[in-house]
Structure 1
Amino acid sequence: MKLLIISLLVALAVAEKVRYDGYQTLRIEPKGAIQNDYIHHLAETLDEKYDFWTHTRNGFTDVMMAPNLVGGFKYLLESRDIDYHVMIEDVQKLIDNQDGILPSAGFYETYHSYDEIQTWVTDMANQYSIAEEMNFATSYLGKPINGLKISKSTGGSTKRIVYFQGGIHAREWISPATVMYMTYQLLENNGEGFLDEFDFYIIPSLNVDGYQYSWTNDRMWRKTRSTYEGNACDGVDPNRNYMYEWGGSGSSSLSCSDIYRGPAAHSEPEVSGTTSFLETLKDQGRKFACFIDFHSYSQLWLSPYSYMERDAENHATQVGAAEEACAALQAVHGTRYTFGASASTLYAADGCSVDWGYAKLGATYSYVVELRDKGRYGFLLPENQILPTGEETYAGIKALLNSIKNNS
């Protein structure tokens, strides 16, 4: 009887897992300001029905939709002579075939669950004397958000801080995987000569509730897993929840939107907990040199501001360092990144981490880095691309840190 109950529970769990059979992702390529503005209007008004994966100002827009919505959306585009093509014919097939072609992949060539990531954090702290396990926050569902501090005793509290976070959006699995690989390389190479200058604080997976949900229930889940009375849908976009220019353009007040900003700034414990941790360091007199939030996808290296089309006061410095990082990244596997200010390159998005890191935390070199790819796989990057993504991104980070050292 017990075995039967367990079998039924497993079957129920499998049955409840969201599937995307027949869902298509279209790549839209508008021509000129009028078509661009129209696509931007669609992204703002239809985001509860359609899943806009990426939306650039003068480039392309990728949008996923259910089978019954495909015909109508194509008609909207064709009626205005807007170019498009099918980027992904069937999203579920891509999910089913997501694993790469590595028959005996190593640890840093596969994606890892929430539990595996937290175990990895503990293992790294136990294995390397320069690493210390840190609890940065606790999630809405009570899960620890753990990460690492990497430092040497030399320099004491006068050293500046470099902060990396991954996995703020649940479905962007390449982000935690890349942050873990880079952290391992930093530890294995004894800090690469950076620890006399910097202390590192690193969170591989910030949105742990959403990340686990993307493994167990819905591979395309983006938001947190919080619930609020009166909301029709669960979850908040944590990268629209930061307490800087919160509640303006580029986010939504509708709970079913993937860019729902939440009922208030810092409503999400994942955001409020980690920002409080970092602000405490700042209040203790520590200075932040670098703040990077790793995302996917589109291959972009973006600086403030995100909330409006406005360059930061340190724009030239930020872009110069980003250019060096992207050149070093490209030299590894030939992968090309675009760099520039966020809102000028994409569209305005308020309440974002990159602006908070710069304006509130004081990190001159604050960025959002959108990892591979350009849209062939989108959020469903195969495992055979994990290692090359980590290798090239780590090269970019080393070049960035050297630029920071040489220019400050």
Structure 2
Amino acid sequence: MEKSLRSIFLVILIAISAQATVTNSLERNQIWRVNAATDDQLQDLKDLQNTKTVEMWRYPQKVNEPILIHVPSEHIKFSENYLSDANITYKVTVENLDDVINQQKFRSKRAITNLDEFDYTVYHRLEEIQEWMNLMTDRFPFVSQQQIGLSYEGRPLNMLKIQKPSSGAPKPIIWIDALIHSGEWVTSASLMFIWKEILTKPQYSWIIDSLDWYIMPVLNVDGYVYSWTFNRFWRKTRSITGTSFCQGVDGNRNWDSHWSEASSPNTCSSTYHAAFAGSESEIRHLMRFITEQKEGIKAFITLHSYSQLILYPYCYARNTYTPDHDEQHQLAVNMSKAMYEVHQTVYTPAQGAKGLNYLWSGCTIDWIYDKANITLTYTIELRDKGTYGFMLPPEQIVPTGEELLAGIEVLATHVLNKH
């Protein structure tokens, strides 16, 4: 097919599918790994994304950078023909998405009444994560639970505070959150694993003796529930955006730092920034909490997947660095080295926009640095680099957590030496 004819066909297809979204029924849907070898093929992939017949997990940015795409069953034949006409190579990495998702959701249905029974090798629903938090506060007298607000749909936004009594000066605080993007399940799973390790193994006692911690296993609670019940790859919140068919806002584009400069105004986009900064209940409550506690918080980590990156500000511009860039970068390098030593998994340290190779304004770490004045602020993108993407197999939860723990140890040491 000539490129001009394909372009005309795409215009027609875009018009037909403009109001469509990728189906929530995942039976016989597939995941493909595609690669553009030329600039023309890169443009072809961008055109394909605009048809909304497939869902690309990473926006096509440069040649020879493989990306994963979610191909609904009804669009498989079209996608095959389109990629063939464009001479774009692809590989089917998941033949039947529904089967794989059901396997990842499978686990014992019995109630968990003891922390020792909790299974860290599977993914857990929101109510099970909440039960884990309850059991943590029951087991450890220095662990408490705090609600910082309510989500859009009225669910509590709960965090754990790990604070051993101290007679001296207030200890430095480190914050870690997960699941601002609700389809990134490994973030919460690995966060729970590392805290099981820290709280139960003597070699990590210094981490809680010398520092206080705030951890939030699920920030986007509404979206996380939706990812279990309707759409495994749901990313955004679940707020009403003013349209009848598209809901939600990208929480990592909703912070009041260069808001809307490099994010989408389209309500149906997965990176929609909302009508105004801090519009989302989840983000608004967290901004308020951090503002109130910012004098004590010395480091801030927000967990994402996937890409295996350790990112620091800024996200909104490629060649704009903070005055603390040298320290931020060197600590990221040191964390990366420690994480590599565990399973030889490479986590690349980088400035936010350069690491992901695109601009993303209104992001968490830019606000944390600029508005909360917390120097050591990082987005850690966990496993993997695109083999499974958001569908990371449960057997990789513990290895991912072990790598994360190694990085957190380096961060904790740096904070103690500095403060």
**Bin for the TM-score computed over the shorter chain:** 0.7 to 0.9
SS at match of 1:366: strand
- Alpha carbons of structure 1 residues 139 and 119: separation in structure 2 relative to 1, 3 Å: same
- Give the aligned partner of residue 163 of structure 2: 151
Distance 1:41 1:153 in 2: 58
- Map 1:173-252 onto structure 2 (within 5 A): 173-189=185-201, 192-195=205-208, 197-249=210-262, 251-252=263-264
- Give the aligned partner of residue 308 of structure 1: 317
SS at match of 2:58: strand
1:24 deviates by 2.8
- Give the aligned partner of residue 126 of structure 2: 114
Q: Is the 8 A contact 1:101 1:384 kept in 2?
A: no
1:252 deviates by 1.6
Higher RCO structure, 1 or 2 (CA under 8 Å, sep 6+): 1
The more displaced of 91-100 and 321-330 is 91-100
Query: Does 1:343 find its partner at 2:353?
Result: yes
Q: Is the 8 A contact 1:287 1:362 kept in 2?
A: no
Query: Does 1:85 find its partner at 2:91?
Result: yes
Query: Does 1:54 find its partner at 2:58?
Result: yes
Gap regions ≥5 residues in structure 2:
1-22, 111-116
Distance 1:206 1:182 in 2: 18
- Alpha carbons of structure 1 residues 376 and 101: separation in structure 2 relative to 1, 3 Å: farther
1:158 deviates by 4.0
- Give the aligned partner of residue 333 of structure 1: 343
- Give the aligned partner of residue 3 of structure 1: none
- Give the aligned partner of residue 370 of structure 1: 381
TM-score, structure 1 as length reference: 0.85
The more displaced of 68-77 and 335-344 is 68-77
- Give the aligned partner of residue 382 of structure 1: 393
276, 280, 283: which one aligns with 2:288? 276
Q: Is the 8 A contact 1:99 1:383 kept in 2?
A: no
- Give the aligned partner of residue 72 of structure 2: 66
Q: Is the 8 A contact 2:44 2:86 kept in 1?
A: no
- Give the aligned partner of residue 18 of structure 2: none
- Give the aligned partner of residue 297 of structure 1: 306
Over the matched positions of the two proteins, sequence identity in percent amounts to 35
1:311 deviates by 4.4
TM-score, structure 2 as length reference: 0.83
1:235 deviates by 1.5
Q: Is the 8 A contact 1:100 1:382 kept in 2?
A: no
Q: Which amino acid aligns with 2:340?
A: Q
1:308 deviates by 1.7
- Alpha carbons of structure 1 residues 180 and 56: separation in structure 2 relative to 1, 3 Å: farther
Query: Does 1:19 find its partner at 2:37?
Result: no
- Alpha carbons of structure 1 residues 216 and 339: separation in structure 2 relative to 1, 3 Å: same
SS at match of 2:369: helix
- Alpha carbons of structure 1 residues 169 and 100: separation in structure 2 relative to 1, 3 Å: same
SS at match of 1:109: coil
1:253 deviates by 1.6
Q: Is the 8 A contact 2:104 2:123 kept in 1?
A: no
Gap regions ≥5 residues in structure 1:
1-16
Distance 2:45 2:377 in 1: 29
Per-residue deviation, residues 134-169 of structure 1 (Å, max 9, x unmatched):
112211111111111112333766433211001111
Q: Is the 8 A contact 1:99 1:382 kept in 2?
A: no
- Alpha carbons of structure 1 residues 33 and 196: separation in structure 2 relative to 1, 3 Å: farther
1:107 deviates by 1.9
Q: Is the 8 A contact 1:304 1:312 kept in 2?
A: yes
368, 371, 374: which one aligns with 1:357? 368
Distance 2:344 2:167 in 1: 37
Q: Is the 8 A contact 1:325 1:396 kept in 2?
A: yes
Distance 1:176 1:219 in 2: 15
SS at match of 1:123: helix
SS at match of 1:339: strand
- Alpha carbons of structure 1 residues 400 and 38: separation in structure 2 relative to 1, 3 Å: farther
Query: Does 1:95 find its partner at 2:101?
Result: yes
The more displaced of 82-91 and 265-274 is 82-91
CA RMSD in angstroms, aligned pairs only: 2.8
Q: Is the 8 A contact 2:42 2:60 kept in 1?
A: no
1:372 deviates by 1.5
